[in-house]
């Protein structure tokens, strides 16, 4: 072969390699994404409380300064055209109350339900992705925000006050679901935003007891989460902080402060368009005076278009750790030390045992909430009993947003006991249950076995995949562990390093991690972590893969 022919062959080969590389790079490029800033805001009597002209101008200023692209507005009351003109936005009203303001074209009216309560628009984004956007207002049955109108010792009266919002949202969602059931909407994500006039079960769980003085399962907030929607604010702000979270009310600080305005989102049915919140904040200040009795809620939603995805496996790092209320082997309570141990393990889920909430011995801290802030994870708490002015129990931490957290009361032993069950939503949209236990500790196993028997029966009835973990206070060959071997896969620790208690002189294996159903999980690695100071237990780490279903 002539030299110039050899050169041409080499060039051609190089071009082929470059073409293959370019194809690989293009295949790895991120999905077509666009960030949309969404606001939910009840502007209070058309924003005119501070004057017919100055009030709406302040509303315009707040919206402009926020950078919002889409606004779900309530109590528009005749100010909509003026505000839309000031923003240069498209304006879609329905009745006098609810309206939509959009930087982007409104291509279809998709309104449902009562005109005073709901307006919907199909919005076309600059990349031609379409979003179903709803502005809603829900009624309430009684006033529980004014001072003296709330009795936290009687949750039933508080629930009754928000009954109307629950009933209305059930009907509204049924109408939205029907309206968007046609095939032409199957690749359309949904955003529902507005004034819900009810609080969130995620705030009023036991994790928020020290701030809200009540544990209430608000049914209104579960309507959309049960349908696969995510609360954008809580997803971006895992730690419960009543003062920072509240949207009611910046104008009346003497009233009960609560989070009653929400932005919920869900990806397309086909999963070809996904929605993920990147930031979410509450705006309650504007000089010289904030113009509304509701704060404005603003969330940035990253909307991504992609090819129809193949089902994805999900890799998870799971940790079980009895933290002894943060008291190390030096008898010093140091939650930062506990957090440092967990940070090194980079967990997606954590089950914590022996956790205090406002107990004297641990400095009156909400330990789960504080650890969540340190680790930027979502917290849940379940109490065994009142203790030293606070509560004593267990916690879960999750890298992913929580949908529900509940305590399953178990038979009493030497102390009351619960199983803490948290449902977390994975990036795929699927959910998984994290089940945390701390069974009775005495030598006679009758209490442990009774507690384990009730939990095993409960878990057998679950359709969702679950991870069971915790301090079982029983050995690997016990009948307690055998109960769970029948319904789940026990992850196996290294034979030469399986002991979890005590942390300084390990002599027992009593901390375990299970997963079920067995065919849904792959166990990749299990490790008992050497950590002799932060607690009297050694943490257990399991690397698991949840197989695509």
Interval 73-97: pLDDT, tens:
999 999 999 999 999 999 999 999 9
438 has pLDDT over 50: yes
pLDDT, one tens digit per residue, over 204-261 is 999 999 999 999 999 999 999 999 999 999 999 999 999 999 999 999 999 999 999 9
β-pairing, 106-109 vs 130-137, is unpaired
Encoded tokens for 371: 């650890």
In the predicted structure, residue 8 carries a pLDDT above the cut 60: no
Mean pLDDT, residues 59-66: 98
- Report helix, strand and coil shares of the chain as percent, to nearest 5: 25, 35, 40
pLDDT of residue 63: 98
Helix (H), strand (E) counts: the chain: 13, 24
User: Is 70 exceeded by the pLDDT of residue 147?
Assistant: yes
Query: Can you tell me the mean pLDDT for 95-108?
Result: 98
The answer, yes or no, to whether residue 315 has pLDDT greater than 80, is yes
Per the prediction, the chain carries an average pLDDT of 93
Q: 420: cis peptide before it, omega within 30°?
A: no
**What is the number of alpha carbons within 13 Å of residue 10 lying toward its C-beta?**
7
| pLDDT value of position 31 | 62
What was the pLDDT predicted at 309? 73
DSSP E strands, 32-174 = 32-42, 70-74, 90-94, 98-102, 106-109, 118-124, 130-137
Nearest C-alpha neighbor of 135 from the set 79, 191, 179, 63: 191
pLDDT tier for residue 20 given thresholds of 50, 70 and 90: very low
**pLDDT greater than 70 at residue 469:** yes
Tell me what pLDDT residue 62 has. Answer: 98
Beta-carbon-side half-sphere exposure of residue 397 (alpha carbons within 13 Å): 27
Average pLDDT over residues 251-274: 96
Sequence-distant (≥ 6) Cβ neighbours of residue 23 within 8 angstroms? none
Q: What is the pLDDT of residue 308?
A: 74
Domains, the chain: 32-305 (3.60.10.10), 314-546 (3.60.10.10)
Predicted pLDDT of residue 310: 78
Task: Name beta bridge partners: 99.
Answer: 73, 93
- Give the lowest-confidence range in 175-179, 268-272, 533-537: 268-272
| C-beta of residue 357 within 8 angstroms of C-beta of residue 382 | no
Give the residue-averaged pLDDT of 161-168.
Answer: 97
190-195 and 261-266 strand pairing = antiparallel
User: What angle (nearest 5°) sits at the alpha carbon of residue 205, between those of residues 430 and 428?
Assistant: 10
> DSSP label at 95?
T
Among 36, 50, 32, 206, CA closest to 123: 36
> What is the DSSP secondary structure assignment for residue 294, as one 8-state letter?
B
Residues 273-292 have a mean pLDDT of 97
Token duo for residue 54: 């100055």
Q: The pTM is what?
A: 0.92
Report the share of the chain in percent with pLDDT over 90.
90
The fraction of the chain above a pLDDT of 70, given in percent, is 94
Question: Is the confidence at residue 4, as pLDDT, over 60?
Answer: no
Q: Specify whether the CB–CB gap between 265 and 190 falls below 8 A.
A: yes
* pLDDT tens digits, 390-430: 999 999 999 999 999 999 999 999 999 999 999 999 998 99
Q: What average pLDDT score do residues 353-381 get?
A: 98
- Please check whether residue 179 is in contact with residue 120, taking contact to mean a CB–CB distance below 8 angstroms: yes
């Amino acid at each position: 072969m002539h030299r110039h022919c050899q050169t041409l062959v080499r060039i051609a080969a190089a071009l082929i390699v470059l073409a293959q590389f370019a194809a690989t790079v293009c295949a790895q490029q991120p999905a077509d994404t666009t960030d949309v800033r969404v606001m939910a805001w009840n502007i209070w009597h058309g924003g005119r409380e501070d004057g017919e002209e100055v009030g709406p101008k302040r509303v315009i200023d707040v919206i402009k300064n926020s950078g919002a692209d889409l606004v779900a507005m309530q109590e528009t009351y005749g100010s909509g055209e003026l505000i839309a003109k000031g923003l240069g936005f498209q304006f879609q009203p329905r009745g006098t109350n609810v309206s939509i303001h959009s930087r982007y074209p409104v291509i279809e009216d998709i309104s449902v339900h009562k005109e005073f309560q709901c307006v919907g628009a199909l919005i076309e984004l600059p990349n031609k992705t379409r979003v179903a956007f709803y502005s809603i207002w829900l009624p309430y049955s009684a006033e529980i925000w004014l001072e003296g109108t709330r009795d936290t010792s009687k949750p039933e009266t508080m629930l009754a006050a928000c009954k109307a919002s629950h009933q209305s949202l059930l009907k509204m969602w049924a109408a939205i679901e029907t309206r968007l059931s046609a095939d032409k909407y199957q690749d359309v994500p949904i955003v529902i935003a507005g004034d819900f006039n009810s609080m969130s079960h995620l705030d009023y769980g036991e994790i928020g007891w020290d701030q809200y003085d009540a544990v209430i399962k608000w049914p209104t907030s579960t309507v959309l989460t049960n349908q696969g929607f995510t609360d954008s604010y809580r997803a971006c702000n895992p730690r419960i902080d009543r003062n920072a979270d509240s949207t009611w009310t910046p104008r009346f600080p003497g009233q009960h402060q609560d989070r009653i305005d929400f932005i919920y989102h869900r990806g397309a049915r086909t999963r070809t368009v996904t929605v993920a919140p990147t930031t979410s904040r509450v705006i309650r200040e504007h000089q010289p005076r904030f113009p509304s009795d509701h704060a404005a809620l603003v969330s940035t939603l990253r909307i991504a278009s992609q090819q129809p995805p193949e089902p994805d496996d999900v890799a998870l790092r799971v940790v079980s750790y009895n933290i002894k209320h943060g008291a190390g082997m030096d008898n010093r309570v140091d939650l930062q030390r506990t957090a440092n141990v967990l940070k090194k393990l980079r967990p997606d889920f954590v089950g914590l045992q022996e956790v205090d909430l406002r107990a004297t011995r641990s400095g009156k801290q909400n330990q789960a909430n504080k650890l969540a802030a340190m680790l930027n994870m979502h917290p849940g708490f379940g109490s065994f009993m009142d203790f030293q002015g606070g509560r004593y129990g267990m916690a879960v931490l999750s890298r992913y947003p929580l949908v529900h957290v509940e305590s399953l009361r178990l038979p009493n032993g030497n102390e009351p006991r619960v199983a803490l069950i948290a449902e977390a939503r994975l990036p795929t949209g699927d959910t998984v249950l994290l089940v945390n236990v701390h069974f009775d500790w005495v030598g006679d196993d009758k209490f442990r076995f009774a507690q384990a028997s009730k939990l095993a029966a409960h878990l057998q009835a679950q359709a969702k995949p679950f991870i069971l973990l915790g301090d079982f206070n029983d050995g690997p060959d016990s009948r307690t562990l055998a109960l769970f071997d029948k319904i789940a896969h026990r992850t196996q620790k290294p034979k030469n390093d399986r002991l979890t208690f005590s942390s300084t002189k390990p002599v027992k294996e009593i901390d375990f991690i299970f997963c079920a159903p067995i065919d849904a999980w792959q166990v990749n690695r299990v490790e008992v972590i050497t950590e002799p100071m932060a607690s009297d237990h050694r943490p257990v780490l399991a690397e698991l893969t949840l197989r695509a279903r």
